[in-house]
Amino acid sequence: MSKIVGIGNALVDVIVSLPDETLFDKFGLKKGGMEMIEQETKRSIHEHIKELKQVIASGGSTSNTMHGLARLGASAGYIGKISQDEAGMFFKNELLKSNITDHLIYSDIDTGIATTLMTSDAERTFATYLGAASTMKSDEINREILKHYEYILVEGYLIFNRELITQICRLAKEENLKIAMDMASYNLVELNRDFIKELLENYVDIVFANEEEAFAFTNKNEREALDELSKYCEVAVVKLGCKGSIANIHGKIIEIPAYKANCIDTNGAGDIYAAGFLYGLIHNMPVQEIGKLASRLSGELVETVGAKLSDEQWEILLQEIQK
């Protein structure tokens, strides 16, 4: 069985409903926005919300995808950086519960936490502390780990650390791994277009982009953007939200309809889409079945609050997939 390892920002997601909006003023948070915060601000916010009901889950884009792959039955591993604090041990235990091989690196800095603050009008405000994840360095990547895998998923957000992501890709290519990458966000693409082009030209075999990211990279829409991405990678995917997605898999273009769903929360939909797509790809499923699996998983997730499916949802899905 093909083995896949992911590398990315190891974060813990904390979702909490606020009784009012006073916390935003206290910490200078813009309602509905996303703020990067420092350690002391993170600690202060969590001191203020400690009595409120919280939903806690392991997070980070690539971590979410690895969890999806593992639940589908893939042999998966994960490389990330945490602290040996409460949040870090929670993250580690979540990997183990999903049978994901832990290749974690440890830091003295607090584990990264992405806090989602929900108000009564269903507006979400994000306060993200990268913490230990932001301190991962290129010389901490152990080449020996890569020898045990055939594929690697590299988180697009790591592009903020060019030395790190280049080293990962270089080592993976030297060890003959297929490299997959998700473009992560359109603003990141706009800021790093030339560097991303360099990565695609020299290293990346499989690329995922949503419509905005594909346009930011190519200045082209949908099919033309897919054609442009396919010049660099043997597998290219452009996700089109409620319109489905399109993919070029080794020269074969497929249109993938969206799974009919009542969309409640899109958080993590792209991550689980990638899990289904990569599972199908590395297990040599027919191209139409690859797209169908990816679409089915993301369709299920958007009907759920949060970035992961429940055990009950997985039980039903796996029975459906086996049929």
Tens digit of pLDDT for each residue in 128-144? 999 999 999 999 999 99
> Once rounded to an integer, what is the mean pLDDT over residues 77-97?
96
pLDDT at 218 over 70: yes
Helices of type H across the chain? 22-27, 39-48, 61-72, 86-97, 143-146, 162-174, 186-191, 193-202, 211-218, 222-230, 269-282, 287-301, 311-322
Which pLDDT score, from 0 to 100, does residue 109 have? 95
Q: Are strands 151-154 and 3-7 parallel, antiparallel or unpaired?
A: parallel
Q: In the structure, what pLDDT confidence band is assigned to residue 309 with cuts at 50, 70 and 90?
A: confident
Residues β-bridged to residue 12: 58, 113
Which pLDDT score, from 0 to 100, does residue 307 have? 73
> Once rounded to an integer, what is the mean pLDDT over residues 231-243?
94
CA–CA separation, 232 vs 180, rounded Å?
12
DSSP labels for 115-181? EEEE-TT--EEEEEE-GGGGG--GGG--HHHHTT-SEEEEPGGGGGSHHHHHHHHHHHHHTT-EEEE
Q: In the structure, what pLDDT confidence band is assigned to residue 185 with cuts at 50, 70 and 90?
A: confident
CB contact burial 267-292 (16+ within 10 A = b; e otherwise): bbbbbbbbbbbbbbbbeebebeebbb
Which pLDDT score, from 0 to 100, does residue 265 have? 65
pLDDT at 208 over 60: yes
φ/ψ of 126, rounded to 5, equals -110, 135
Q: What average pLDDT is seen over the chain?
A: 92
Which pLDDT score, from 0 to 100, does residue 182 have? 94
Tens digit of pLDDT for each residue in 47-58? 999 999 888 999
Which pLDDT score, from 0 to 100, does residue 318 have? 86
For 40, residues 6+ apart whose C-beta sits below 8 A from its C-beta are: none
pLDDT at 18 over 70: yes
CATH numeric code, 3-9+60-110+130-182+259-322: 3.40.1190.20
Which pLDDT score, from 0 to 100, does residue 214 have? 96
CB 267 within 8 A of CB 308: no
Residue type for position 165: I
User: Percent of the chain at pLDDT above 90?
Assistant: 75
pLDDT at 169 over 70: yes
CA–CA separation, 309 vs 319, rounded Å?
15
Tens digit of pLDDT for each residue in 269-284? 889 999 999 999 999 9
pLDDT at 147 over 80: yes
CA–CA separation, 183 vs 210, rounded Å?
8
CA–CA separation, 160 vs 146, rounded Å?
22
pTM tops 0.75, yes or no = yes
Q: In the structure, what pLDDT confidence band is assigned to residue 64 with cuts at 50, 70 and 90?
A: very high
Which pLDDT score, from 0 to 100, does residue 264 have? 67
| Residue 79, H or E segment | strand 75-79
* DSSP tag of 110: P
Among 4-8, 204-208, 242-246, the minimum mean pLDDT is found in 242-246
pLDDT at 77 over 80: yes
φ/ψ of 192, rounded to 5, equals -130, 30
pLDDT at 1 over 60: no
